[in-house]
Every structure is written in structure tokens, then in C-alpha cells.
A = this chain, B = another copy of it.
Amino acid sequence: MNQIPVAVLGATGTVGQKFIALLQGHPYFRIHELVASPRSAGKPYHEVCRWKQEIPMPEEIASKVVKTTEDSLESRVLFSGLDSSVAGSVETRYAEQGHAVISNSKNHRMDPDVPLIIPEINPDHFEITKKQPYKGAIITNSNCSTMFLAMTLAPLRDAFGIEAVQVTTMQAISGAGYPGVPSMDILGNVVPYISGEEDKVETEAQKILGSINGDRIEPAEFAVSAQCTRVPVFDGHTESLSIKFQKKATVDEVKQVLSGFKGMPQEAELHSAPKHPIEVMEQEDRPQPARDVWRNKGMSALVGRIRPCSVLDMKMMIMGHNTVRGAAGAAILNGEAYVHLGYLDS
């Protein structure tokens, strides 16, 4: 496959850095442009970026001169980790100019003609981009907490139907970006509130599990009630989940359905696709963020403690890497699916 030049929007931020780290060694996406705020523009990346990734800053990235969001770009695919204060209009403009904007930002997620894609679940939603009033396209992935919830719900919905979902999240600090959560707020503490988060969790999963109806996506109909908290964990969102099904299901059936879940990325063997989008863990005290967050390179939802619920039907603990599958990794997989399905050339 030919190399596809890509740009990273918001390249100095937490998600932007993760895009850069995850795209190292990518078989066909090649980082061609880095885009950040005007105050960084015109300077080499290493001068303007406070790099926080596990791997050292790649040398060819370090010396690349940063462009600004007002510049024209040459890359066909733009991975956006822009701050929500600017993402809305900037992404729109680049889509109008013909770029495929694969965005992790929240701004366009709920636009009726913008797909919220998890390629294992709803790759058919890419089709809605043809109804977008852009020469290019905008494709989004979900909020980090929604990601693991939606991945877990999708196969269960297909097998048993879903009526209602109750979820309490225990979210990692990296989800708030950098500088993000002040240490005085979270060391040895639980903060029982994350601004705007519950709303996203309560609406995004339905859209992902929804269906195209004309020029808009109709959300699926089931209730989600979320309580979101922040805990002193570096990476990895844990979620305590209880689900009411439409049909009865046993613990074994639920495990089987989750373990067997596969989709288009697995069939197409996309570069960033995990072999198993969902890994069911049998140990009674797993998944744990500090121990399991890097399983399957951070690209799977990990599910444990599946057992009956005396109030709804089935409860379980789920966990996943919030900045990989929950953010930059999700967008990259979306990009791979978009390319694989031929949309880039259509």
C-alpha cells in the first residue's frame, strides 16, 4: 500500500502526542505535518512540546516545523486532537477544503451527519459522510468512557437486546489531559464529578449503536445512567456496569458472546486492530488498570466479574486504556477502516 501523508492537529497536546507515539512504525500512515496553536507555529516541534510519552520524541518529529490551524495542509488525512475550544470550526474548515478529518474531539460527535465510529460495531455509518456538506469528511470516535461501554454493549445488544444500563466510572487522570487534574485534588482522593462527562456517556453509546435513517443517524433506544468519578490512576478507565436485557441471558452466554465478538477490523486485519476487541478475564479481581491497561496494546475492552445483578440483569467490571483505544488509538483505527473501505478515494 502507498504511504498516506497525515497531519496531526493539536500536535503538542496529550492526544496529539499519543497520535505521534502510536503512528511510529505505521505501515502506511506517515506523519507529514504537525499543527498546533499560533503560538507554536513556525518553530520546531521539540521547542514547543512538553513531551510526556513513554517513548522518546522521535527525531524526525522533533525537528519538524509546526504549522498553525490557519495554514493550508497537504496531508489527505488529518488526525485531530484539537482542544474543544477550537476544534469545531477548524475541523469544519479542513473538511470543507477536502481533508478527511478523523477527530477525537467532542465538537462534532453529535452532529446528525457525522458518524461516531467504532469499526467493529458500525462501519456502515461511514456512509453518512457522503451526506456531509463537505468536499472532505469528518469522522469522530467516542468519549473515552463511552468507548469501552459501547464495545461491551454492542455484541450483547445483538444477542440479547438491551433495555437499560447503569454505569459508574472510575476514570484515570490522563483523561483530563495536561496539566489537567491538579495533584492536590486527586492524591489519595476520589472526585465524584467530571464536568460534562456523564452527558457524553449517556448519549454517545446510543448513537454508535444506532442506524442510518436518510441523512442522519438515529440513536438506538435504551437508557444509560452514568455516574462519573476521577480516581488517582494514571491510565485506564474502570467502569462498574449493570445491564437490563430484553432476553434472558446466563453468565456463560454473556461470556461467550463477549469473547467471540469480532468485526470488520479483525476480518480485514487492520494494523491497529486487536485480535480480540473484548477480552474476558476470569480472575475474580481483574481487570485492574495498573496491571492490565496495556493488554492487547491498549486496544481491547477488558471485561471481568460477569455475574447476575439482583436489580437489573447482569453486572460486570470493564476497563480499557483511555488514551489508546479510548482516544488516539481509536481515531487511528477509524482512519485505517476509512482507508480500507475505500472512502479516502471515493
Residues of A within 8 A of B (CB): 52, 54, 56, 164-166, 168, 170, 173-174, 178-193, 202, 223-225, 227, 229, 231-234, 238, 240, 242, 244, 284-291, 294-295, 304-305, 309-312, 315, 317, 319
Contacts and interface: CB of A to CB of B under 8 A. Distances in A.
B188 A185 contact: no
Contacts of A289: 188-190
Contact of A232 (B56, B183, B240, B291): B183
A223 B192 contact: no
A311 B313 CA distance: 13
Contact of A166 (B56, B287, B312): B312
Contact of A202 (B181, B233, B310): B310
Contacts of A244: 311
A315 B226 CA distance: 9
A225 B284 contact: no
Given A202-B310, A240-B227, A315-B227, A233 B179 contact: no
Which label, helix, strand, loop or mixed, suits the secondary structure of the A interface? mixed
B183 A285 contact: no
B290 A187 contact: yes
B192 A305 contact: yes
B178 A182 contact: yes
A311 B225 contact: yes
A14 to B, nearest CB: 8
Contacts of A310: 164, 202, 223-225
13 contacts: A54-B291, A170-B190, A178-B182, A179-B184, A188-B232, A188-B233, A188-B289, A189-B233, A192-B238, A192-B317, A227-B317, A232-B233, A240-B240
A225 B240 CA distance: 12
Nearest to A309: B225
A168 B168 contact: yes
Contacts of A290: 187-189, 234
Closest 8 CB pairs of A and B: A189-B290, A179-B182, A168-B168, A192-B317, A193-B285, A168-B240, A225-B311, A227-B240
A289 B232 CA distance: 12
A168 to B, nearest CB: 4
Contact of A291 (B189, B287, B304): B189
A187 to B, nearest CB: 6
A159 B337 CA distance: 54
Contacts of A309: 166, 225
A305 B193 contact: yes
B192 A233 contact: no
Contact of A187 (B54, B190, B232): B232
A262 B185 CA distance: 32
B183 A173 contact: yes
Contacts of A173: 183-184, 187
Nearest to A308: B225
B231 A170 contact: yes
Given A180-B184, A232-B232, 10 more contacts: A170-B190, A178-B182, A182-B182, A183-B187, A187-B188, A189-B288, A190-B238, A192-B286, A192-B287, A227-B315
